Structure 1
Amino acid sequence: MLKAQQLTLAVLIQATMISSAIASEQSEAKGFVEDAEASVLFRTGYLTRDRKHGKEDTSSTAQTAIVDIDSGFTQGTVGFGVGFVGDASFKLGSNNHAGNNMIPKKSTTGTAYDTWARGGANVKARISNTTLRYGTQVLDIPVLASNTARLVPEYFTGTLLTSHEIENLEVIGGKFTKNSLSDQINTDGQKLRSAWVWGAKYQFDDNLKASYYGLDVKDKLDRHYINANYKIPFADKDSLTLDFSGYRTTFKPEASIYSATGPLGEDKTNNIWAVSGTYNQGPHTVMLAYQQNTGNVGYDYGGNGDGMQSIYLPNSYLSDFIGNREKSAQLQYNLDLGAFGVPGLNWTTAYVYGWNIHIADGKDPNQLVQDNATEREFFNQVKYTVQSGFAKGVNLRLRNSYYRASSAYQYDNYIGDTNEWRIFLDIPVKFL
C-alpha cells in the first residue's frame, strides 16, 4: 500500500489537472534561449562568534561567486529546459578558527579549505502550468528549506513538481535523495536516504492566504506545517497583519535531536506554533509575537536532512527558541529610512525572551535537571541596498546578536552564551 504522504501527494498532483481559466505558461513560452536567465552573485561574507565560558571563538571570512543559469523552455505542448546552480569560493585570511557552517574543513587536519567549488545541473519539463525539475536545487519550502544565511546555499538533489493549474493555487510535490550543507563539498554530505515533500498554498484574496506542507525523511522524521496570514488594511496605507504558523514533528528513534525527555529508542514528538501581529504605519513597523513548544522534545532540524533553514516562525534569529516545552515572546521594530531621505536603508531591532525550557539529564533522559531554563536575544540589523546607477542592487548587511541562556541551557544542549556579528556584501550581476 502507498504510504499516507505518498497518497496525499498523488491526490494533490491529480488536483492540478482540473481545468481552469488561467493562461497556459507553456503556450506562452518564447523559447529555450529567448527565456533564458543567467546571473552571478559575488558575495563577501564574515561571521564571527565570541563564545563565553571558555569555549573557543569561531570566525570565518571568505569570498564566493554563486552562479545561477536557467534556460527557457522549448516551444510545443511539452517544453524542455536545463539549469545549473553552483558556487566557487576562497577563504580570506587564515581562518584558523573557521566554523559557523561557512567554510568546509579538511577531514584529515580539520583546517579550512583555501579554495572550493560545488554545484550541479538540473533538467526540467513543463506542460501547461505544471513544471517538473530533476537535479541540484536550492529549496524554499517551510519543511525542506536550504540554508541561505551563510556564504553559500545548501543544495538538495532530487525531483520537484510545481503546479499552478488552478488560479491562485500552487501545489508542490517531490522526492530528494541527497543534500549538501553550506560547508560541505560532498554532494551527499548528510547521507540523506529519501525526503518526500508535498504541499499547497492558496491566495484567497488580496489580504488572506494559507498554506500546508508535509515532509517524510526516511528513518528520521515526519513533519507537517500550516500557516494562515490575514492583512487588515486601514486608511493612509496603514495595515495590521495577523499570522499563525505551526509545525508538528514526530522524530523517529534514529533521529538526531538536541535534548529529549522520555525513554530512549522511542519516537519523540514536538509541536511548535506561533502567533504574531504586525502593525505598519508608513516607515514604521512593529511586531509582537508569541511562540510555544509542546511534546517531549524541542523542535530540531540540524542533523535530520530536512534543511538547515526550515523554521518559518517569527522568533528565529541566532536562536530559534525551540527548546523542549519552551515559550517565548518577541517585540520587533523596523524602520525604513527611505522616508527620511536615505532610500534603501533599513534597520531592524528585536528582543526575544524564552522561558519554561525543560532540560533532561544527558545520561538519563527520564530525569529532568531543569524545568524552567531561560534564554534571551537582543538582535539588530542594518541593511542598505543601492537603488539606482551602475551599482543598483548591491546590498550590504550588518547584523549583531547578543545571546544569553541559563547555566543548564549552555553548549551541551544548545548555542550557549554568544555575541555574534555577521557582515555580508552582495554584488549581483545579471547576464541574461
Structure 2
Amino acid sequence: MPNLARDALKARPVSSLVPLLACLGLSLGSPVSWAEGFIDDSHGTLTLRNYYMDRDYKDDGAKTAAREWAQGVFMNVESGFTPGTVGFGLDVRGLLGIKLDSSPDRSGTELLPVSSSDKRAADEYSRLGVTGKLRFAQTTVKTGDVSIFLPFAFASPSRLLPQTFRGTTLSSKDFDGLVLNTGYIDRIARRDSTDYQPMSIASPNRRFNGAATSSHMAYVGGDYQVNKDLSLRAYHAEVADLYQQNTLALLHNLPLGDGVLTTDLRSFFSDEDGAAKAGKVDNRNVSALVGYRLGGHRVSLGYMHASGDTATPYVSGTELMGLSEMTMSSDFLNAKERTWQAIHDYDFAAVGVPGLRSRLRYVRGDHIELAALNAEDRKEREFQMELGYVVQSGPLKNVGLLARKSIYRNDFPGTAAFRDENQTRFLVTYSVPIW
C-alpha cells in the first residue's frame, strides 16, 4: 500500500492524537496490566471486495456508458480497552482500491477517483484512518476516523471502499433499552477519495447550491427499544449554514397468522440553517412501508410523500435512510415527489439453501418538480433485481457473491442528473480474521 502513510498524515495530523496518546500512556501502567484488555481483546479483519459496475445509458446523451472494474482491500484493526474505570483503545483502518479496468470514455462510476482534466481513473488510491477511543460504563467515545450509520447520514456502502468521516462520536447504552448517539463531524472522506473534504449538500438536478460547504455537522438522538416488537427513533442534526433536519421513526412487528406483519414509519423535517449557503431548504418527507413475512417470503408495499418547496436534503456522498434507500439509479427525493414501491424478498434457507437470498423491487415516483430545470409533474421508475449467496462451508466459506440489476427510466429534461439506464453490478467479497 504505497500511499497509506502519506495519506494518513494528510487525513489525521499526528499532533491531533498527542493528547489522546498521553492519556493512554498514563492509564496503561505495567505492560502486564494493560495487555489484559488493550492487546488481549484486540482483533483484526482483512476484507477483499471485487466490484464490477456497468451503467448502460439509454438516452441521447453524449456519454453512452460508465463501466469500471476494481479491487478493494480493507484492513481493520481494533484494540481492546485498557483496564480501569475509563479504558482507552486505538483502531486503525487501511483502505486500498486498485483499478482493474477503466477508460476515459466510460469512467465515472465512483469506484475510482477520476482526473478532472483527462477523465482517467487512478491506477490505485488508498487511505489510512486512525481512531482513538475510550470507554466508561456502557458509553464509548471515538475520535479521528469514524463511521456513521444513522438515519440522516448513512455511510454509503454502495461502492468499492467504505465511506468514513473525521470527528468525534459518543454512543451510550447506559439506560435500559435506549441507545443514545451524539457527535461532531467536520470532514467527510468520500467513497472514491484519498483525503477528507468539507461537507456539502447533495444536489442532483441542481436542487441546491452544491458548491457551498459546511464547517461541521452536529447531531444528537437515540433509538429506544420499547419491547421486542416495537422500537422508536428520534434525531436532530445540523449541517452548519446549510440545513437542519429532524428525524422520527417507528418500527413494529406483529405476529399475524403463521407470519409476521412489519410496519416501518419514517419522517424527515428539514429547513435551512444559519447563513443558508446552499439556498432555501423547506421539505417534509414522510413514508410508510408495510410488509408480511411468511416462511422464506417477505412482501412489502410502501409509500413516500414529499412536501414543501424543495427536495429532501442530505449530505453529499451519504445516503438518507428513507423509503428509497439502496435504490441504484436515482434517490427518489425530488421536490413534491410521491413514491410507491413494492418489494418481494426471499430467503432460500426456507427450502434448504441457507445463504441464498433474492429481491425484486419496483419503485415509481411522480408529481416531481425540478425547479432548476423548469420542469413540473415529471415521473421516474426503477425495477431492481438482486441475487446474493454466501458460501456456508468448505474452503470458500464466507465468500459472498452478489448480482444487482436495475432498469431505470424517467421523463426528465436532457440535462438532468439521473438518466435512463440499465445498470449492472457484480460483487465478490471475502472477510477473514487476521488474528
Question: Into which bin does the TM-score normalised by the smaller protein fall?
Answer: 0.7 to 0.9
Give runs of aligned pairs for residues 28-177 of structure 1, distance below 5 A. Answer: 31-55=37-61, 56=63, 57-96=65-104, 97-177=106-186
Give runs of aligned pairs for residues 31-430 of structure 1, distance below 5 A. Answer: 31-55=37-61, 56=63, 57-96=65-104, 97-188=106-197, 190=199, 192-236=214-258, 238-252=259-273, 254=276, 256=278, 267-301=280-314, 303=316, 307-314=317-324, 316-318=326-328, 319-362=330-373, 369-370=375-376, 372-406=377-411, 409-410=412-413, 412-430=415-433
Question: What runs of 5+ residues in structure 1 fail to find an aligned partner?
Answer: 1-28, 257-264, 363-367
Query: Post-superposition shift, 1:128?
Result: 0.8
Distance in 1, matches of 2:67 and 2:162, equals 18
Q: In structure 1, what is the equivalent of residue 10 of structure 2? A: none
Distance in 1, matches of 2:282 and 2:49, equals 39
Query: Post-superposition shift, 1:224?
Result: 1.4
Question: What runs of 5+ residues in structure 2 fail to find an aligned partner?
Answer: 1-34, 200-212
Query: Post-superposition shift, 1:235?
Result: 4.6
Query: Post-superposition shift, 1:166?
Result: 0.5
Distance in 2, matches of 1:270 and 1:411, equals 25
Q: In 2 relative to 1, CA 369–64 (structure 1 residues): closer, same or farther, beyond 3 Å?
A: closer
Moved more, 102-111 or 41-50: 102-111
More helix, by proportion:
2
How many residue pairs get aligned? The number is 383
Distance in 2, matches of 1:33 and 1:430, equals 15
Partner secondary structure for residue 339 of structure 1: helix
Distance in 1, matches of 2:305 and 2:414, equals 22
Contact residue 144 and residue 215 of structure 1 kept, 8 A: no
One-letter amino acid of the structure 1 residue matched with residue 240 of structure 2? K
Distance in 2, matches of 1:299 and 1:411, equals 22
Indicate the percent of aligned positions where both proteins have the same amino acid: 29
One-letter amino acid of the structure 2 residue matched with residue 321 of structure 1? F
TM-score, length basis structure 2: 0.84
Moved more, 187-196 or 372-381: 187-196
Q: In 2 relative to 1, CA 356–94 (structure 1 residues): closer, same or farther, beyond 3 Å?
A: closer
Deviation string 1:27-76 (CA, Å, 9 cap, x unpaired) is xx951112212101100011111113232111121001112111000111
Distance in 1, matches of 2:184 and 2:125, equals 28
Q: In structure 2, what is the equivalent of residue 4 of structure 1? A: none
Partner secondary structure for residue 227 of structure 2: coil
Distance in 1, matches of 2:221 and 2:372, equals 37
Contact residue 410 and residue 416 of structure 1 kept, 8 A: no
Partner secondary structure for residue 101 of structure 2: coil
Query: Post-superposition shift, 1:313?
Result: 2.4
TM-score, length basis structure 1: 0.84
Query: Post-superposition shift, 1:208?
Result: 0.3
One-letter amino acid of the structure 2 residue matched with residue 142 of structure 1? P
One-letter amino acid of the structure 2 residue matched with residue 388 of structure 1? S
C-alpha RMSD over aligned residues = 1.9
Distance in 2, matches of 1:30 and 1:213, equals 37
